[in-house]
Amino acid sequence: MTTGALAGLGSLALSRKEDFKMFVDAPRRTQPARLARQALQALDEVSRTAYERDRRTWHANLGPIKTPQLVSLHEDLWDIVDSNQQDGDKAKGAVAIDAFPGLGKTTAVLAFAREFHRREIAEHGAFTAQGHERWPVCRVGLTGNTGMKDLNRAMLEFFGHPGRQTSTAAQLGLQALDCMLLCEVRLLILDDLHFLKWRKTSGIEVSNHLKWIANEFPVTLLKVGVGLTDKGLFSEGESAGDTALAQTGRRTTRLDMPPFAIDTEQGRRRWRQLLLALEQRIVLADAHPGMLADELSDYLFARSTGHIGSLMTLINRGCQRAVRSGAERLTLNLLDQVRIDAAAEQARAELEHALQAGKATSRPARVRASR
Ligand SMILES: Nc1ncnc2c1ncn2[C@@H]1O[C@H](COP(=O)(O)OP(=O)(O)OP(=O)(O)O)[C@@H](O)[C@H]1O
Ligand SMILES: [Mg+2]
- 138, part of any domain: yes
For residues 54-66, one letter each, b for 16 or more C-beta atoms within 10 angstroms of the residue's C-beta and e for the rest, the string is: bbbebbeebbebe
- 273 and 236 share one domain: no
What pLDDT does 10 receive?
Answer: 59
- 264, part of any domain: yes
What single-letter DSSP state applies at residue 194? Answer: G
What single-letter DSSP state applies at residue 97? Answer: E
- 125 and 232 share one domain: yes
- 91 and 188 share one domain: yes
Query: Percent helix, strand and coil across the chain, each rounded to 5?
Result: 55, 10, 40
Atom of ligand 1 nearest to the CA of 64: 3
- 24, part of any domain: no
The model carries a pTM of 0.90
Q: Of 236, 255, 274, which residue constitutes the final position of a domain?
A: 255
CA dihedral 14, 16, 22, 28 (to 10 degrees): 20
- 26, part of any domain: no
Atom of ligand 1 nearest to the CA of 110: 18
Q: Helix 169-182 vs helix 148-159: angle between axes, to the nearest 10 degrees?
A: 30
C-alpha separations of 363 from 65, 262, 270, 345, 354 in Å:
20, 8, 10, 21, 14
- 295 and 342 share one domain: yes
Please report how many Cα atoms fall inside a 13 Å half-sphere around the Cα of residue 333, on the Cβ side.
4
Which residues lie closer than 8 Å to 287 by C-beta, 6 or more apart? 34, 279, 328, 329, 330
Total domains in the chain come to 2
Q: In what order do the strands lie in the sheet with 94-98?
A: 137-141, 187-191, 220-225, 94-98, 252-255
Q: Cβ of 193: how many Cβ atoms within 10 Å? A: 27
- 235 and 96 share one domain: yes
What single-letter DSSP state applies at residue 226? Answer: S
Q: Of 224, 255, 286, which residue constitutes the final position of a domain?
A: 255
Distance CA 243, CA 358 (A): 51
What pLDDT does 3 receive?
Answer: 44
Number of residues that make up the chain: 371
Distance CA 134, CA 231 (A): 34
Q: What's the gap in Å between 9 CA and the centre of ligand 2?
A: 17
CATH number, position 164: 3.40.50.300
- 117 and 250 share one domain: yes
Residue numbers of the domain that contains 313:
260-364
C-alpha separations of 158 from 38, 141, 165 in Å:
50, 10, 13
Residue nearest to atom 29 of ligand 1 (CA): 309
Of 61, 106, 282, best ligand 1 pocket probe by most atoms within 8 Å of the beta carbon: 106
- Ligand of minimum distance to the alpha carbon of 70: 1
- 119 and 207 share one domain: yes
What pLDDT does 341 receive?
Answer: 86
Q: Of 255, 283, 308, which residue constitutes the final position of a domain?
A: 255
Atom of ligand 1 nearest to the CA of 67: 1
- 219, part of any domain: yes
- 195 and 281 share one domain: no
Contact of 113 with 25, CB cutoff 8 Å: no
Distance CA 187, CA 256 (A): 19
Per-residue tens of pLDDT for the chain, all 371 residues: 344 445 556 555 678 899 999 999 998 899 999 999 999 999 999 999 999 999 999 999 998 999 999 999 999 999 999 988 766 666 778 899 999 999 999 999 999 999 999 999 999 999 999 999 999 999 998 887 777 888 888 888 899 887 656 678 888 888 999 999 999 999 999 999 888 776 655 456 777 788 888 888 889 999 999 988 877 676 654 444 556 566 666 778 999 999 999 999 999 999 999 999 999 999 999 999 999 999 999 999 999 999 999 999 999 999 999 999 999 999 999 999 999 888 888 888 888 888 888 888 999 998 888 87
- 298 and 235 share one domain: no
Q: How distant is the alpha carbon of residue 172 from its chain centre?
A: 28
Whether the CB of 226 sits within 6 Å of ligand 1: yes
- 163 and 306 share one domain: no
- 1, part of any domain: no
Distance CA 191, CA 109 (A): 9
- Ligand of minimum distance to the alpha carbon of 191: 2
- 351 and 229 share one domain: no
